[in-house]
């Protein structure tokens, strides 16, 4: 027997013992028994599920997408994309990804996870566009997209400003319903 054959046989045997050991351990727990506590500590979501301790809280929730109409203490009003308005209650448990609810402003585009009329969490929607830059003037520019649409850009958060004619991909948030406040700008090859 060659050394390669011996090693291959040893690896196959080790894999077989490992798989067999897992099967025996699983069978010992049985279908009606609680899973191993050590496994549950490492995997809070349970066997085969990544840990998401708040997943039960999100069950039966819906997603509202639109623009902020107003933010008051305990209340968030959203104008949905279909033009209808929805008023949601908020409290100290309502989370804004990356900030504080008091920092929300009218006309910001958001996605809100809602359950029973209460906003569970709010996220500012990110705009992503590609196109050619024109009319660069300090922190302002215009992006001409592939389909010909023109979008105003706020470049105040970008350290390296693009030049007229640059082909770019931008990511940011829409501040006034039309202008993208650019957070990331990537030059694309021409």
| DSSP notation for 10-49 | HHHHHHHHHHHHHHHHHHHH-TTSPPPHHHHHH-TT-TTS
Per-residue pLDDT at 17 exceeds 80: no
pTM more than 0.85: no
pLDDT band at 158 (very low <50, low <70, confident <90, very high): very high
Q: Comparing 80 with 42, which gets the higher pLDDT? A: 80
Mean pLDDT of 160-168: 94
Q: Comparing 30 with 95, which gets the higher pLDDT? A: 95
Mean pLDDT of 90-111: 83
Alpha-carbon span 127 to 67, nearest angstrom: 13
Long-range pairs of 153-159 with CB within 8 A, sequence gap ≥ 24: 153/179, 153/180, 153/182, 154/179, 154/180, 154/181, 154/182, 155/182, 155/185, 156/181, 157/181, 157/182, 157/183, 158/182, 158/183, 158/185
Per-residue pLDDT at 173 exceeds 90: no
pLDDT band at 141 (very low <50, low <70, confident <90, very high): very high
With a pLDDT cut of 90, the percent of the chain lying above it is 37
In contact, 152 and 179? CB cutoff 8 Å: yes
Say what the pLDDT of residue 190 is: 80
Say what the pLDDT of residue 31 is: 47
Alpha-carbon span 165 to 48, nearest angstrom: 50
Say what the pLDDT of residue 1 is: 59
pLDDT band at 136 (very low <50, low <70, confident <90, very high): very high
pLDDT band at 45 (very low <50, low <70, confident <90, very high): very low
Say what the pLDDT of residue 168 is: 95
Average pLDDT, the chain: 77
């Amino acid at each position: 027997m060659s050394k390669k054959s011996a090693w291959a046989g040893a690896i196959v045997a080790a894999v077989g013992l490992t798989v067999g050991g897992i099967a025996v351990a699983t069978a010992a727990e049985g279908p009606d028994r609680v899973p191993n506590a050590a496994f549950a500590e490492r995997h809070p979501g349970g066997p085969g599920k990544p840990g998401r301790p708040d997943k039960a809280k999100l069950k039966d929730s819906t997603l509202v997408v639109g623009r902020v109409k107003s933010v008051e203490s305990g209340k968030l009003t959203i104008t949905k994309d279909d033009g209808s308005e929805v008023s949601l209650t908020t409290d100290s448990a309502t989370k804004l990804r990356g900030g504080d609810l008091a920092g929300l402003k009218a006309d910001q585009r958001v996605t809100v996870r809602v359950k029973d009329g209460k906003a569970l969490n709010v996220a500012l929607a990110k705009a992503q566009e590609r196109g050619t830059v024109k009319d660069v003037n300090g922190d302002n520019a215009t992006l001409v997209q592939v389909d010909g649409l023109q979008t105003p850009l706020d470049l105040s958060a970008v350290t390296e400003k693009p030049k007229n004619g640059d082909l770019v991909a931008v990511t940011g948030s829409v501040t006034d319903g039309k202008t993208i406040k650019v957070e990331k700008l990537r030059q694309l090859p021409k």
